[in-house]
């Protein structure tokens, strides 16, 4: 009995030791397989376009190192006091490309990238083409309408051309972000501020002083430049004259051209008598 008891004790000790070794190996394996993380600053609430960030609206979350977005900020201090170029939603990581520099200050000036300019169109015709559906952040094309006169005017009295394409709207009146209703009152659209290059700003200034500017709304994913041609009054009048004269030309062709007929002759023979039968068919 004593020897059997001793054997059982030895076996129990061996099993216990094996269990301890297995637990240690399993724990070490888990520690080795743990995923490395990095801190990422995210928005703690929705932030409208042009707003300035503060520690109260920011939080830090741990992201897997391989899943962290490129250019993401890692500390709240990096984002504090900076304005946002585009609206941020709660839980969205803050990217360097979406924020103005700390030295840019606040307001509209902070939203203008280096090398670009903000140019405001002040005209009552700015909302005529889109009826209040344009909002800050949209992309538009800008049309210029001019009038002409004199013996050397080849436009027939006026022309409209696409002056600029794919231009971003920075602000409408004093609004830097779209309203909650996703619609603007056309009465408030007496001026629109556009993000342009210095050369484009010069073209807008000349066009606004020499003609009328209109906006056409673009799909935000459509960034290809369209191949456009100026539309002139001479072209419109020629097209209208062609349409007005078309019924008269058609009637004249029907009256002046007689109906063409196909004539077939069939020779007959009845005994010693021969004859010809004439058959006409309209074509």
pLDDT in tens, 241-256: 555 655 555 555 555 5
**Is there a single domain that holds both residue 117 and residue 218?**
yes
What is the C-alpha R_g of the chain? 40
**Is there a single domain that holds both residue 152 and residue 86?**
no
The SS3 assignment for 84 reads strand
Is 77 domain-assigned? yes
**Is there a single domain that holds both residue 125 and residue 179?**
yes
**Is there a single domain that holds both residue 120 and residue 92?**
no
**Is there a single domain that holds both residue 88 and residue 129?**
no
Q: So what's the pLDDT on residue 199?
A: 97
Q: How confident is the model at residue 234 (pLDDT cuts 50, 70, 90)?
A: confident
Contact between 144 and 206 under an 8 Å Cβ cutoff? The reply is: no
Q: What digits encode the pLDDT tens for the residues 174-224?
A: 888 777 666 676 666 778 999 999 999 999 999 999 898 988 899 988 989
Q: Given 49, 83, 106, which residue is the final one in a domain?
A: 106
Q: State phi, psi for 205 to the nearest 5 degrees.
A: -65, -45
Domain range for 102: 37-106
Is 151 domain-assigned? yes
**Is there a single domain that holds both residue 170 and residue 83?**
no
Q: How confident is the model at residue 271 (pLDDT cuts 50, 70, 90)?
A: low
Is 263 domain-assigned? no
**Is there a single domain that holds both residue 205 and residue 225?**
yes
% of the chain at pLDDT higher than 70: 64
Q: Which two tokens stand for residue 120?
A: 């405001």
**How far is residue 243's CA from residue 11's CA, in Å, rounded to a whole number?**
107
Q: So what's the pLDDT on residue 219?
A: 92
**Is there a single domain that holds both residue 176 and residue 198?**
yes
Q: Given 90, 106, 122, which residue is the final one in a domain?
A: 106
Q: So what's the pLDDT on residue 269?
A: 62
Q: Which residue has the higher pLDDT, 38 or 25?
A: 38
Q: How confident is the model at residue 127 (pLDDT cuts 50, 70, 90)?
A: low
Closest listed residue to residue 143, CA positions, set 222, 228, 236: 228
Is 120 domain-assigned? yes
pLDDT at residue 258 is higher than 80: no
**Is there a single domain that holds both residue 179 and residue 75?**
no
DSSP strands (E only) in the chain: 37-43, 58-64, 117-122, 139-147, 158-172, 191-196, 212-217, 231-232, 261-270, 273-282
| 160: β partners | 145, 231
Q: So what's the pLDDT on residue 117?
A: 94
pLDDT at residue 51 is higher than 90: no
Longest Cα–Cα distance in the chain: 150
pLDDT at residue 32 is higher than 50: no
Total number of domains in the chain: 2
Q: So what's the pLDDT on residue 113?
A: 84
Q: Given 53, 78, 106, which residue is the final one in a domain?
A: 106
pLDDT at residue 34 is higher than 60: yes
Is 119 domain-assigned? yes
**How far is residue 62's CA from residue 255's CA, in Å, rounded to a whole number?**
86
Average predicted confidence (pLDDT) for the chain: 78
Which of 153-177 are b and which e, b meaning 16 or more Cβ less than 10 Å from the residue's Cβ? eebeebbbbbbbbebbbbbbeebbb
6 alpha carbon, distance to own chain's centre? 82
**Is there a single domain that holds both residue 120 and residue 172?**
yes
pLDDT at residue 166 is higher than 70: yes
**Is there a single domain that holds both residue 101 and residue 116?**
no
pTM (predicted TM-score): 0.61
Mean pLDDT of 149-166: 85
Q: Which two tokens stand for residue 191?
A: 């001026």
**Is there a single domain that holds both residue 117 and residue 210?**
yes
Give 58: exposed, middle or buried? Use CB within 10 Å, 0-12, 13-18, 19+. buried
* CATH code, domain carrying 63: 3.90.1210.10
């Amino acid at each position: 009995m004593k020897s059997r008891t001793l054997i059982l004790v030895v076996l129990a000790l061996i099993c216990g030791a094996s269990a301890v070794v297995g637990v240690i190996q399993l724990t070490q394996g888990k520690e080795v397989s743990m995923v490395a993380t990095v801190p990422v600053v995210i928005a703690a609430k929705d932030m409208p376009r042009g707003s300035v960030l503060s520690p109260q609206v920011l939080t830090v979350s741990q992201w897997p190192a391989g899943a962290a977005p490129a250019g993401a900020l890692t500390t709240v201090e990096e984002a504090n006091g900076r304005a946002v170029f585009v609206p941020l939603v709660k839980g969205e990581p803050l990217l360097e490309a979406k924020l103005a520099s700390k030295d840019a200050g606040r307001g509209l000036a902070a939203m203008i990238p280096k090398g670009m300019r903000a140019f405001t169109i002040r005209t009552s015709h700015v909302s005529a083409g889109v009826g209040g559906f344009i909002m800050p952040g949209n992309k538009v094309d800008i049309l210029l309408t001019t009038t002409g006169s004199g013996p050397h005017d080849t436009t027939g009295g006026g022309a409209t051309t696409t002056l600029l394409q794919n231009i971003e709207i920075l602000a409408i009146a004093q609004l830097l972000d779209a309203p909650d209703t996703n619609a603007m009152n056309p009465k408030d659209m007496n001026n629109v501020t556009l993000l342009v290059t210095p050369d484009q700003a010069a073209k807008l200034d000349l066009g606004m002083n020499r003609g009328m500017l209109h906006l056409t709304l673009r799909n935000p994913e459509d960034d290809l430049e369209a191949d456009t041609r100026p539309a002139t009054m001479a072209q419109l009048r020629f097209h209208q004259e062609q349409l007005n004269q078309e019924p008269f030309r058609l009637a004249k062709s029907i009256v002046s051209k007689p109906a063409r007929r196909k004539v077939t002759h069939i020779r007959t023979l009845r005994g010693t008598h021969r004859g010809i039968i004439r058959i006409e068919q309209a074509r």
